[in-house]
Amino acid sequence: MKFKSVRGTRDVFSPEIELWQYLENTAVALLKAYGFSEIRTPIFEESALFNRSIGEDTDIVEKEMYSFQDKKGRNLTLRPEGTAGVIRAAIEQNLLVQSNIAKLYYLGPMFRYERPQAGRYRQFYQIGAECVGSDNYRRDLEIILWCVDYFAAIGLTGLKVCLNSVGCADCRPAYREVLKKYLQDQTGKLCGDCQRRAVKNPLRVLDCKVDSCREIIFGIPAMQDWLCDACKTNLSEIEADLKKEKVNFIIDKYLVRGLDYYTRTVFEIKSENLGAQDTIAAGGRYDKLVQELGGPPMPAVGFALGLERVSEVRQKQKAVATPGNRIDIFFALLGEQAQNRAAGVIRELRQQRIKVEAVFENKSLKSQMRLADQSGAKFTAILGEEELKKDSVTLRNMQTKEQKDIKLDELSQFLKTAKSEEYNG
């Protein structure tokens, strides 16, 4: 085969695409219920936007971005995540009005140049939302509860909500220094990566999975002890309300996110049904980003979920697939005249959004019936010489095998009635 989808990308089609449509539709409906409205931003942006928001010495910026120059020499990057673009757009379009809050959601592909793995792609789809303009902990809660409600709505179980605070501009620098000093004393015992992190980005050491490092991490002073009062209150209020809402969560004091813009609340939702890449949704608060990107000093909180991973979990948990795109009526046509007579009727039915398929390829009735069967159609209309004389079709119910003559003119009415009966049980 000459052409293949490029490494780390994939095609999504039936029956999985019907699942995706269901996941997206459910998410959109719930996002609207939570007061978010959609924003569509470009798939590429100025590279500098991502450098500044995500952070120069994060893995994403250092080695994972699809960056290129266009014909005018502009430095552009395919978006590796959604927040930066949404905030840029919100500022540019004046959606951020002082003392008001803006609630925006987005969905679409993101791009990161990473080694593909289970649940990790170079082009992957995210659904995410941002709430800009409030530092009220209830907004953090809204975001987390949306995720919880969504995963419940689509029937996922075995999820774990992990919560932590990474502090704010007031308390994080102090903690950073404490951490740096502590790590300096232990530097010989750290793994190579962590020795570098200890200097550049000491918080990331907390995330290390190397056994020798974990031992050292165990003795590290906890961020919690260094949080300022405001951050402490923020975290404890969220905790209290999550308990009140009976959300199952744990405080993971080693939870740090790979993007620099987070402040205070960070969270991840993990599934026990996936491999190493088990985070299906993640997010947190980012109170300084809006101003840093040239907007008004407005606090914000948001999240993103990975559609491939959600789809994966859902498929592992539900044996029964989401209903596919079954057609309503299948036309088996015998001969040129039958094809001519049916063509108009078929178009009319389709205009009424009745799902129709037909065979115009002069196949035997037997093979047309086989196609009808495979299509999953509820009815098959057979139109041949006999029916043409009466201007009717032989309508076969594919489940009950019941057949009756129906005038071609009455088909549309019949199908509508049949459909509404189905809805009423």
Closest approach of Cβ 303 to RNA, in Å? 8
**How far, rounded to the nearest angstrom, does the alpha carbon of residue 412 sit from its chain's CA centroid?**
38
CA angle 154, 155, 159 (to 5 degrees): 110
Of 273, 308, 333, 339, the one binding RNA (CB under 7 A) is 308
Site for RNA in 119-148 (CB under 7 A): 119-121, 124, 126
Q: State which residue, 93 or 117, has the beta carbon closest to RNA.
A: 117
- The answer to the question of residue 282 lying near RNA (CB under 7 A) is yes
Q: String of b and e for 409-422 (b: at least 16 CB within 10 Å)?
A: eebeeebeebeeee
- The answer to the question of residue 398 lying near RNA (CB under 7 A) is yes
Of 130, 142, 287, 387, the one binding RNA (CB under 7 A) is 387
Assigned token pair, 363: 């196949």
Stretch of 66-74, 132-140, 173-181, 395-403 lying at the interface with RNA (CB under 7 A): 395-403
- Furthest C-alpha separation in the chain: 96
Which residue is it, tokens 């009976």?
246
Convert residues 314-353 into a mask of x (bound to RNA by CB under 7 A) and - (unbound): --------------------x-------------------
The CB density around residue 49, as the number of other CB atoms within 10 Å, is 17
Stretch of 20-28, 91-99, 100-108, 369-377 lying at the interface with RNA (CB under 7 A): 369-377
- The answer to the question of residue 116 lying near RNA (CB under 7 A) is yes
What are the residues facing 358 on neighbouring strands?
Answer: 331
Closest approach of Cβ 307 to RNA, in Å? 8
Q: Which residues contact 51 (CB under 8 A, 6 or more apart)?
A: 61
| Crossing angle of helices 411-423 and 336-351, rounded to 10° | 50
Strand 392-397 and strand 263-271: the pairing is unpaired
Task: Report how far residue 297's alpha carbon sits from residue 287's, in angstroms, rounded to the nearest whole number.
Answer: 8
Convert residues 53-82 into a mask of x (bound to RNA by CB under 7 A) and - (unbound): -----xxx---x----------------x-
Closest approach of Cβ 72 to RNA, in Å? 28
Tell me if 183 sits within 8 A of 243, measured CB to CB: no
- The answer to the question of residue 363 lying near RNA (CB under 7 A) is yes
- The answer to the question of residue 212 lying near RNA (CB under 7 A) is no
Q: State which residue, 142 or 278, has the beta carbon closest to RNA.
A: 278
